[in-house]
Structure 1
């Protein structure tokens, strides 16, 4: 059986947990993981501040924005299921269909399109599509290498930067830095290999992210791990 798919939680984009409206599923998870609540609140406030700063902007590429939102909708729809073999195959097929499209968007814009081009939600959707472009780690690395200006401007959050950093490292066969990439081992979410794991919470704190134990707690509440054996293989 295929190994359990990596779980990524607290994503931006369609279905964002950082949207201004309440997310009942996340709010329920935070009741079980109270240590995560201040960090989620801080992320929500940052996202709302960006939305206010961008409120008067009319995207210069509305058609591209709609394309990105639809691609992200299909991405999320494919990930809403029971982690069965059929679901995994559908997810991979959607990712494969989206990959050449998001590659072209990035090529046309010299990186992720900015808020002025596609709006806050369009940028979030583009980031999400890159995050799930696992078949091309080199492409993910290219986008990651150009993210610094958008992180500095607040268009891309430190959380998103950390998620993509870990994704690139894992997809390149290297230990991750922030522990965001999880695998189901023995039916529980555990971080994939990390560099200096004893320092992971220090690294997470340096970018304003919750301790790893709280992150895993939220993951377990929002995305129950599939049944797996000690090697991570589906039962």
Structure 2
């Protein structure tokens, strides 16, 4: 049995749970943890899927008041926490034994030069491109989303430029980012031809975040962004995570169309920090944000401004 089929069998009884029913959360996280502990070999896609499920499970536990140190956890949550730590250790052992780099965080800590970093990124992309996923093979697609999401992060977080670097450094960085985006684009398109949207309630927040990042950064294809936004608007039930994703994409599409944004998620860096682009009905902006569980715009500005320095 292939690793993707094996994992699909394990999770099959869990993927249909409602993303908005808190009563289902313990069963869902338990299923994710079980799947994350399934031995499926050392393939990048498989390890990426397992990592995604671990991250999603931990995020869901924390949202429910159960923390990694065990505080605030019920007996059932504590058992899941033990299972997740076991899965995390297993993934790390398999990764090291196979000498694999599985995430951008690991890539940053590996002390590689830029050329070798880009080779790792290309391996992620080419693996996601080469591995076929059946329509019902959610775990395979979760692994591909993980790899593409990490590649997208790398494209925007290569070693920075400073006064000591060669002339044209920033344009070189932009060229690298654009090249990675171009490699990702057809794989992203293929994914969304088969999958409507990987909602956080059934795929996990990690997978949903990766998908949202890929769509959010598809500025070279505004028609694609608009099509995904239409899908999200037509979905009858969205998790809090997906509602926030929709808000960001709503603003992105509006700005691309020359319109004011709605939720104030888009802006630019200035000498004094991040500054929001114009919004409609600015006096009620925080009320609209609060409806989606988003923090007030003043707090958001303070949160993202350090990235501008």
Which TM-score applies when normalising by structure 1?
0.64
Q: Tell me the residue number matched to 1:31.
A: none
Q: Tell me the residue number matched to 2:148.
A: 71
Q: Tell me the residue number matched to 1:215.
A: 300
Structure 1 segment 65-144 matched on structure 2, within 5 A: 65-81=142-158, 82=160, 84-109=170-195, 111-114=196-199, 120-144=205-229
1:190 match: secondary structure:
strand
The offset of 1:176, in angstroms, is 0.7
Of the structure 1 ranges 211-220 and 83-92, higher mean CA displacement relative to structure 2 is found in: 83-92
Which of 1 and 2 has greater Rg? Answer: 2
Residues 108/116 of structure 1: CA separation in 2 closer, same or farther (3 Å cut): farther
Structure 1 segment 3-42 matched on structure 2, within 5 A: none
The offset of 1:86, in angstroms, is 2.6
Are the equivalent residues in 2 in contact too, given 1:106–1:113 (CA < 8 A)? no
The offset of 1:145, in angstroms, is 1.0
Are the equivalent residues in 2 in contact too, given 1:60–1:116 (CA < 8 A)? no
Q: Which has the higher contact order (CA 8 A, sep 6+)?
A: 1
Which TM-score applies when normalising by structure 2?
0.50
Higher percent of residues as helix = 2
Any unmatched runs of 5+ in structure 2? 1-50, 67-76, 81-135, 162-169
Tell me the distance in 1 between the aligned counterparts of 2:149 and 2:300. 23
Structure 1 segment 39-58 matched on structure 2, within 5 A: 45=63
Are the equivalent residues in 2 in contact too, given 1:189–1:220 (CA < 8 A)? yes
Aligned length, in residue pairs: 180
Q: Tell me the residue number matched to 1:147.
A: 232
Are 1:163 and 2:248 an aligned pair?
yes
Residues 47/77 of structure 1: CA separation in 2 closer, same or farther (3 Å cut): farther
